[in-house]
Amino acid sequence: MKKKNLSVKKKIHNFYSKKLDDPRIKRIYLNFKKKLSGHIKNSFCVAVSGGTDSMALSFLAKCYSIENNKKCYFFIVDHKLRKNSTFEANLVKKKLKLFQISSNILTIKKKKISTNIQSFARDNRYKLIINKSLDKKIDMILTGHHSDDLIENFFIRLLRGSGLKGLISFDKTKSKFKFDDKIFILRPLLDISKKNLAYISKNTFNFNVNDPSNLNDKFLRVKVRKLISNLEDDGLTLDKFKLSLKNLSKSNFAIDYYVQKNINDNSNYLKLTKTIILKDDFLKQPDEIVFRSFSEVIQKVGKRNTFARGVKVENLLKYLISSNKYSKKTLSGCIIQKVENSVIIFPEKSKNSSKL
């Protein structure tokens, strides 16, 4: 390596180590490092939006990659949903380069979207990053989700009528976007508040992009953010919220135990035909146990990335419990047939069965 390059490298390493002298930043970095422990084998990547959260994450990830000699990729997604999105993506790339961070811009194909805009952006952002990660043989994607997001997602799902499992699902530090993904999503900042991440962003790179949608009342997330702000005035704290979440998680764990017990005790899997036969007692358990057990069985036989929609599962269960007919139904790539006191579920091959 040339002397000039060595000098630049030393200078940039000094920049990061000097910033870690700040007690507040160092405390957050040590927490971040602990969350990554045991998860990063070789290389990893960071999803960068340009907001204060992802800029703080970029700083922490760069520190970690320098300290542990790990290759870290930084992916910026241009979602093409705002007029200035391409300009902003290039600006973020340029700013990161000033701090010796090389990044790639991934572009979502421009599409006219009138509903579920944020959901569309989120799903396509993950798809692009996951595909790029597969190319680079990366198995861990770091995102900037923080404690404020944890509370917001809880209330959003509550307003949408989610059950217990849905309410607590975002609490996981490590998860997959889809069931069959080979890549994990790691959220190492779930214990850190947005205020602390804004502090890191300001006192390190001193740059972030402001997303105008964060102030737009037409988005449910913005409405929920305002609701939480009011609740904080009435005494809602992260510690109180996490205590409630912990109690809900215990209840969910207990339900999961009986779901697996129901599947193990009251169903048979025929490997040769990839068929599952449900015994009479399978459908005689408490409603939530039956619902979750049946959803898991359908997902397994149909080999789908996600569970079937709740309302469709409920309608099919009502039919199976109340009907003595022998007609077939289809759902999520499965054919479901009631035969006397048993239910047979096998992969769908024909289109002759009545659909739900």
Number of structural domains found in the chain: 2
Distances (CA, A) of 6 to 11, 17, 98, 200: 9, 16, 16, 27
Rounded Cα gap, residues 109 and 107, in angstroms: 6
pLDDT at 175: 84
- Checking if the pLDDT of 178 tops 70, the result is no
At residue 80 the predicted structure's pLDDT band, cuts being 50, 70 and 90, is: confident
* Mean pLDDT confidence for 211-219: 70
**Maximum CA extent, the chain:** 82
Q: Are residues 188 and 90 in the same domain?
A: yes
241 is a domain residue: no
Model confidence at 264: pLDDT above 80: yes
Query: In this model, does residue 216 exceed pLDDT 90?
Result: no
| 261 and 127 co-located in one domain | no
Does residue 311 register a pLDDT over 60?
A: yes
The residue range of the domain holding 37 is: 3-236
Find the mean pLDDT for residues 25-51.
93
pLDDT reading at 73 higher than 90: yes
Structure confidence at residue 269 (pLDDT): 93
Per DSSP bridges, beta strands 328-331 and 334-339 are antiparallel
Where does a domain end: 214, 236, 258?
Answer: 236
What average pLDDT does the segment 84-106 reach? 94
Residues 129 and 275 in one domain: no
Strand order of the sheet with strand 275-278?
Answer: 267-270, 275-278, 342-347, 334-339, 328-331, 354-355
CATH number at residue 145: 3.40.50.620
Look over the chain and give the mean of its residue pLDDT values, rounded to a whole number: 87
The reply to whether 145 and 90 lie within a common domain is yes
Residue 350 pLDDT grade (very low, low, confident, very high; cuts 50, 70, 90): very low
User: What confidence tens digit (pLDDT) does each residue in 106-153 have?
Assistant: 998 766 655 666 677 778 888 899 999 999 999 999 999 999 988 888
Q: pTM score, two decimals?
A: 0.79
pLDDT in tens, 291-308: 999 999 999 999 887 788
Q: What type of residue is 86? A: T
Report the pLDDT value the prediction gives residue 166, as an integer from 0 to 100: 84
- Asked if residue 79 and residue 35 are part of one domain, the reply reads yes
Mean pLDDT confidence for 172-182: 74
Domain final residue, candidates 236, 268, 297:
236
Based on the domain organization, do 142 and 208 belong to the same domain? yes
Q: Where a domain ends, among 217, 236, 255?
A: 236
**Percent of the chain residues topping a pLDDT of 90:** 53
* Sheet strand arrangement including 103-107: 103-107, 72-78, 44-48, 140-142, 184-186, 174-175
Structure tokens at 280: 């009479």
